[in-house]
Amino acid sequence: MAIRLDTSDAGFAAAFDAFVAKDRDGGRDVSASVRGVIEAVRADGFAALQRFTREFDRFELTGENLRIGPREIDEAEAACDKADLETLDFAAARIRAYHEKQTPQDLRYTDDQGVTLGWRWTPVDAAGLYVPGGRAAYPSSVLMNAIPAKVAGVKRLAMTTPSPNGDMNPLVLAAARRAGVDEIYRIGGAQAVAALAYGAGQIAPVDVIAGPGNAYVAEAKRQVFGQVGIDSIAGPSEILVVADGKNDPQWIAADLLSQAEHDPSSQSVLITDDAAFAEKVAEAVGEQLAANPRREIAEAAWKSNSAIIIVNALDEAPALVDRIAPEHLELAVADPEVLLAKVRHAGAVFLGRYAPEAIGDYVAGPDHVLPTARAARYASGLSVLDFMKRTSIIGCDEKGLQRIGPAAARLADAEGLPSHAMSIRIRCEKT
C-alpha cells in the first residue's frame, strides 16, 4: 500500500522530506558497466555491437540486418491494423502542429550606439533518437522524439531501438516513417548510445541524442554528454494528482496507475483535502490492480514508491507539488487555474477532471519526454529547441567601435589580457 501522510500530523515534515529524498532506482550504480560498453564500442565498433546484441537481445546482428530498410517498413505497415495507422496519423498531426508553434525567430537590430546585434537559430546536422524496447514498445515515443527534430529542420535522423530475438513492433516502424526518421538501426542499450555518439560501422555519429531508456541508457547518455548534446537524463515515470472529493475515485485511481504500470520504480502521488475520498481512491486502486495485466509492475510501484497525502485545504498543495517537482501534474479540481498560478515546478500540467495524463502521452500535442526525478525544478520537456542552437551576431562599424571599444579595452586591461585590449585599440586609434 502507498504510504499515507497528513499535513496535520506532527511528524509530517520529516516524513515528507524522507519521501521526496527516496532513491527509487535502488541505489544501482551502473556507471562502470556502461563505461565498459562505451569503451568497447569506441575500440571495436560494429564488432562490439554484434557481441552486445547477441548477449542482451539474443539476436545475431550482421551488416545486412543492422539497418531496417524500406521493404521491412512496408511489411510492418501491412501487418498493422488500419485503424492503428490512422490513429498514428492523427497523433502525428497534432504533435507536429504544436511543435511548429515552438519554432524560434531570428532577430537583428541596431542599438543606440550603432552596434548591430542579434541571434540566429539553426538546426543541428544530425540527431540520434533512442526508442525503448524491453517491457513495452512505444510508437508514441517515436513521434514525440522525431517530430520536434524534423520541425527544427534536422536533415539526418537516426533511430535505434532494441529488437529482442529479432522481433520489432510494426507500429514502431510505421511511426518512424510518419515522423520522418531517415535511418533505423536494430540495436539498443548503452551500446546504441555509444554508436550514435562515436559512430560504429555504417552508423555515423550524430550531434544530439534524445529519447528515454532504462538506467543503462540514461547513464550512457550522461557519459557521452560533451561529445554530443543530450535532451536529459530520464528517470522512472511520475505522476502527482491534486484532486478534490468531487472526482470519481475510479478515474483518479486509473490516473495514478497509468504511471505505476510503466516500471516498478515509477511513482504515483495523490494530494487531496478529503480523507474519505482518499480512502475510496485507495480501494479503487486495489480493485484495478487485481485486473491489470501489468499488476506485478504497477503493484510494486504503488507499494514501494507512492503516497497519498491529506492536506487541510487544497491551497497547501502547490508548495508540496513544488517540492516533488513531478514529471506529470494533474489538477483535477473545479478551478485548476487557481492552483496552476501557484505551481512553479512540473514537467507537464493537466487542467481539470477531463484531462488525464494519458492524453498527453499520445495525442494532446506537447511532448511526453519530460523531466523526472525533480529535474522539473530546472529543466523542460523535449522541444524543437533541443535540436537547434542559437548563434549570437555582433557587428560594429567604425563609429560603433569608437563608442563602445574603450570600455571593452579597459576591462581587458583589468583582466591582464593585453592582446585583447590591443585588438580593440588598434582599430580605435587608427587615423
User: Which of 183, 238, 327, 330 does the annotation list as catalytic?
Assistant: 327
Beta strands in 366-425, from DSSP E residues, in sequence order: 388-395
> Can you tell me the distance from the alpha carbon of 191 to that of 42, in angstroms, rounded to the nearest whole number?
10
Query: Based on the number of CB atoms within 10 Å of its own CB, is 204 exposed (0-12), middle (13-18) or buried (19 or more)?
Result: middle
Question: Catalytic residue at 99?
Answer: no
Question: Catalytic residue at 55?
Answer: no
Spell 318-344 as b/e; 16+ CB within 10 A means b.
bebbbebbbbbbbbbbeebeebeeebe
> Can you tell me the distance from the alpha carbon of 116 to that of 236, in angstroms, rounded to the nearest whole number?
46
CA angle, 379 then 380 then 382, to 5°? 130
Asked if 154 and 388 touch (Cβ cutoff 8 Å), the reply is no
Cell of 272: 487531496
Q: Residues 6 or more apart from 287 whose CB is under 8 A from it?
A: 253
In which region does residue 230 sit, left (phi positive, over 0), alpha (psi from -120 to 50) or beta (all else)? beta
Beta strands in 341-431, from DSSP E residues, in sequence order: 348-351, 388-395
For residue 309, give the nearest of 323, 320, 300, 301 by alpha carbon: 320
Asked if 381 and 369 touch (Cβ cutoff 8 Å), the reply is yes
Instruction: Please report, as a single letter, which amino acid is at residue 398.
Output: E
Output DSSP code: residue 330: E
Q: How many CB atoms lie within 10 A of CB 164?
A: 15
User: Which of 99, 262, 328, 345 does the annotation list as catalytic?
Assistant: 328
For residue 131, give the nearest of 116, 120, 141 by alpha carbon: 141
Locus of grid cell 496519423: 89
Q: Which residues are catalytic?
A: 327-328
